[in-house]
A and B are shown apart, each in its own frame.
Chain A
Amino acid sequence: MTPSALLVLIAGLGVIGWLVAKARAQRLNTRRDALHSLPGHHGWYLALWIILPALLGFAVWGSVSPGMIHSAVLADPAAARLPSFEFERNAIISEAFTLAEYPGTPVFNPEAEALVPAVVAAKSKFGAIGAAIILILAFAGGGFGYTRLTAQFPARTRVERAVLLSLLSASLLAILTTIGIIASLLFESGLFFSKVSPLEFLFGTHWSPANGSFGAVPLYWGTLFIGAVIAMVVAIPLGLMSAIYLTQYAPADVRRWMKPMLEILAGIPTVVYGYFAALTVAPMVRDLAAAIGVANPSTESALAAGLVMGIMIIPFVSSMADDSIAAVPQAMRDGSLAMGATRSETIKKVLIPAALPGIVAGIMLAVSRAIGETMIVVMAAGATANLSANPFASMTTVTFQIVQLLTGDQEFDSAKTLSAFALGLVLFIVTLILNIIALRVVKRFREAYE
C-alpha cells in the first residue's frame, strides 16, 4: 500500500469515527442537559483518537522501515555476489531501488538488475507490515476513544486541550527554526574552523578558496561597499525625500496612488533586478567609466550592483521614514508652523530631528536587507575578491561567495564548501545585530510619543 493511500485511509477512518461518535452522542442526548459536551465534540474526540496514534505510527514506521528494507535486501541470496566495499555496494543497491520504482531506467551496474526482485519483495513485505501496524493503531485508538463515550464525558475540554497544544507547538516552530539556523550554521562552521583558523578567516586579506586561502576581509569590504555605501547613497536621499514629499506636500489623492506605486519597487523579485543590473545598468556604467577615463572598465562593477540595490531599497527607507514622521505628534508640527516657520523649516528643524531614531532604525533595517541580498550581486557584482574603493571595479560579496561555493560539485567535508556556512554565520550574526538594535529603537521610539 502506498504511503499516500494509507494517509487517505487514515483520514477516511477519522471521518467515520467522527460520524459514529456524533451519532451515538446524539442518541445519548435524551433530555435537557444529558450531555456534557456537544455531539460534535464527541465526534472530534474519537476522530483524534483514531488519527493521532495512526499518524504517530506512520511517522515512526516511515523513519525505521528504510533501514529494515535495506538490510532485508542485503540478506537476500542475490546480494551475496555484491562487492564487499560498502560505498560501491550502496551505489548498486540505490540503483536497484530506482529500477524497482521506474523499470527501464538505464543503469551503470548490471548487478542492480538481479537485485530488483529482492527489492520489490522487501518493499511489499515491509509495506504490508507497516500498513497493518498503522491500521491496528488506528483501530486500537478508536476503540479506546469509543469506550469513553458516555453522556457525562467531558469531550469538549479534552478536544480543546488538544487544540491548545497544537497552537502552542505551532508557535514553538518559530523558536525551532531559529535554533535550527543557529545550530546548523554553528555545526558546519565548527567543522570549517577545525581546518582553518578563525583568525585567518576573520582578518585575512586574501580570498582564494581554490588554493586554500580563506581570508574573508575582501568579502566583508565588498559587501559593505555595495550594500551599505553605494546602495545607501542612492536609497537614503531618494527614500527620505519621497517620504517627506508624500507625507507633507502631496495632496491626499496623489499620496494614495503614489505610495503603492513606490511599494511595487519592493515587490519586484530580486532576480529581475539582477537581470536588469547585468543587462542594462552594467553596460551603462562601463561606458560611463570609459568616458571618464577609467582604464579597462569591466562589465561587472560594484557600482552597477549597488545602484540597482539602492533602487530596490528605496521603498524600505521611505516607508520606515513615513511611519516615523507620521508618529511625531501633530502638536509639534502645529507649534512650529504657528511660530512662523515655513513647511520646509518645520520639516528640517522639527520633524526630522524628532523622527530621527525611527529613520535611523529604518536605515539599519535597509542595510541589513542590502547586505543579505543575493541575486543582484550574483548577477552583477563579479567573482573576484577585490579590496579597493573604486566603484567601477568588480567586487565580490559574502552572499555571492556562498552561492559560488555551494553550487556545482559538492563534497560536503571540504573546507571550500564548509567555508560557505562560516560566511553564512557571519552574515546571520551581523544582520541579527542590526535587526535587534533597529527593532528595539523603533519600539522605544513609538513608546516615547504614545
Chain B
Amino acid sequence: MSNPAIDWGSPEAAKRLARRYAAERRFKLLGLSAVALSMAFLVFLLGTMLIGGIGGIDAAFLSGSDATEADAAGVWGAVKGSFLTMVVTIVLALPMGVFAAIYLEEFAPRNRWIDIVEVSINNLAAVPSIIFGLLGLAVFINFFGLARSSPLVGGMTLALMTMPVIVIASRNAIKAVPPSIRDAALAVGASEVQTVFHHVLPLALPGILTGAIIGMARALGETAPLLMIGMRAFVSSPPSSITDPATVLPMQIFLWSDEVDRAFVQNTSAAILVLLAFLLLMNGIAIYLRNKFETRW
C-alpha cells in the first residue's frame, strides 16, 4: 500500500472503524431477523391451524367419514385411505429403491448406461409431483385400465415418485459403510452377494429406513398427483380394499377447503392438525432411528 503510516489513533481512523463495526452489526442483525421472520411465519401458520382446528377434534371427528353436513363429517375414511395408499407405496417403493441403490453402489459397471440411470434418478427426484400424476393417469388408468380413485393406483403413482428419494438415501447409507467391512467378509470367503446382504445391508439399514420414512412423509402430504388420478371423489364410507374408491387425508383437506359452507372451516383446520400430527410422528421416528443407530466409523 502507498501509505504505510496510517495513524490508527486519529479521529478519521476511529470513525472509519466505527463505521465498519456498525456495518458488521447491521449485517448480523439482518441475518438474525431473516431467521426470526422465517420462524415467525412457521409459528403463525401452525398457530392459525391450531386455533382454528383444535376445537374440531373429538372422537366423532376421528371416527367418522366424509359427509355433506359439517357436524357429521370426520377423517377416519380419509385416514384409512391414506393408510392403504401408503401400504401400496411402501411395498413397491422400498424394495425397488433399495435394490436399485444396491446395484448402483455395489455391482454396477462404470459405463454410459449406468450414467443414464443415475441422471434419470437424480432428475426424477426433482420432477414436479403433478407430472407423476399425469403419468399415472396416462399409464395406469388409460392404458392399463385400473380403477380410478383407488388406493392401488394412488399408491403406485406415489411409489414412482418416492422411489428416487429412497434410492438416493439408500445409496448414501450404503456408501457410508466402510470398505474394510466388505474386505473382511470377502477375505473369509463370502461371495459378493453374501457380503452385501449379510454385512453391508444390515449396517446401512438405519440410514435406509430414515430415508424411506422421510420419503413416505412426503408422499403422505402429497395432493397434486392424486388429483390427477381422480382421488377427489366424495367417499362417505371408509375403503375396505385397495381397489375401492377412496380419498386421502390431504385430499380431504382440499375438498373441505373448497366447501362453501363456513362450518367446514373448523373441519379443514382439524384435518390439517391430524395430518401434521402424523407427519410429526413419522419424522420423529426417523430422527430417533438416526440418532439411535447412526454409527460413526
Give chain B interface residues in 108-135, CB to chain A under 8 Å. Answer: 108, 116-117, 119-124, 126-132, 134-135
- List B contacts of A238 (CB < 8 A): 34, 37-38
Pairwise interchain contact B221-A269, C-beta atoms closer than 8 A: yes
| Nearest CB on B from A82, distance (A) | 22
Give the A-binding residues of B (Cβ under 8 A): 20-21, 23-24, 26-28, 30-35, 37-39, 41-42, 45, 48-49, 95-97, 99-100, 102-104, 107-108, 116-117, 119-124, 126-132, 134-135, 137-139, 142-143, 160, 163-164, 167, 191-193, 197, 217-218, 220-224, 227-228, 230, 232, 250-251, 253-254, 257, 265, 268-269, 272, 275-276, 279, 283
Pairwise interchain contact B123-A435, C-beta atoms closer than 8 A: yes
Pairwise interchain contact B31-A375, C-beta atoms closer than 8 A: no
Pairwise interchain contact B123-A436, C-beta atoms closer than 8 A: yes
| Nearest CB on A from B3, distance (A) | 15
Pairwise interchain contact B95-A344, C-beta atoms closer than 8 A: no
- Does A272 lie at the interface of the complex (its beta carbon under 8 Å from any beta carbon of B)? yes
- List B contacts of A274 (CB < 8 A): 254, 257
- List B contacts of A436 (CB < 8 A): 119, 123
- List A contacts of B227 (CB < 8 A): 374, 378, 403, 406-407
| Nearest CB on B from A251, distance (A) | 12
Pairwise interchain contact A174-B163, C-beta atoms closer than 8 A: yes
Q: Which of B23, B103, B197 contacts A171 (CB 8 A)?
A: B103
Q: Which of A174, A239, A278, A369 contacts B120 (CB 8 A)?
A: A174
Q: Which of B48, B122, B130 contacts A372 (CB 8 A)?
A: B130
A417 to B65, CA, bound (A): 31
Q: Which of A245, A269, A271 contacts B32 (CB 8 A)?
A: A245
Pairwise interchain contact A244-B257, C-beta atoms closer than 8 A: no
Give the B-binding residues of A (Cβ under 8 A): 156, 160, 163-164, 166-168, 170-175, 177-178, 180-181, 184-185, 187-188, 237-242, 244-246, 248-250, 258, 261-262, 264-265, 267-276, 278-280, 311, 314, 342-345, 347-348, 365, 368-369, 371-375, 378-379, 399, 402-403, 406-407, 412, 420-421, 424, 427-428, 431-432, 435-436, 439
Q: Which of B99, B129, B131, B217 contacts A167 (CB 8 A)?
A: B99
| Besides A241-B35, A272-B49, A343-B28, 15 other A-B contacts (C-beta < 8 A) | A156-B191, A170-B96, A178-B124, A242-B38, A244-B31, A249-B31, A258-B35, A265-B42, A269-B250, A276-B48, A344-B26, A402-B130, A427-B128, A432-B123, A435-B127
- List A contacts of B41 (CB < 8 A): 265, 311
Main secondary structure of the interface of A (DSSP, over half): helix
A436 to B126, CA, bound (A): 10
| Nearest CB on A from B48, distance (A) | 6
- List B contacts of A261 (CB < 8 A): 39, 42
- List B contacts of A187 (CB < 8 A): 138
Pairwise interchain contact A181-B130, C-beta atoms closer than 8 A: no
- List A contacts of B232 (CB < 8 A): 407
A177 to B135, CA, bound (A): 9
- List A contacts of B143 (CB < 8 A): 184
- List A contacts of B250 (CB < 8 A): 269, 271
Q: Which of B95, B122, B129 contacts A170 (CB 8 A)?
A: B95
Pairwise interchain contact B103-A167, C-beta atoms closer than 8 A: yes
Pairwise interchain contact B126-A368, C-beta atoms closer than 8 A: yes
Pairwise interchain contact B128-A421, C-beta atoms closer than 8 A: no
Pairwise interchain contact A164-B45, C-beta atoms closer than 8 A: no
Q: 22 A-B Cβ contacts within 8 A?
A: A164-B193, A168-B103, A170-B99, A175-B116, A185-B138, A245-B31, A245-B35, A249-B28, A269-B220, A269-B223, A269-B250, A271-B257, A276-B49, A279-B257, A344-B26, A345-B20, A365-B126, A369-B128, A412-B142, A424-B130, A424-B131, A435-B127
Most-contacted residue by chain A among B117, B163, B217 (CB, 10 A) = B117
- List B contacts of A239 (CB < 8 A): 34
A287 to B173, CA, bound (A): 50
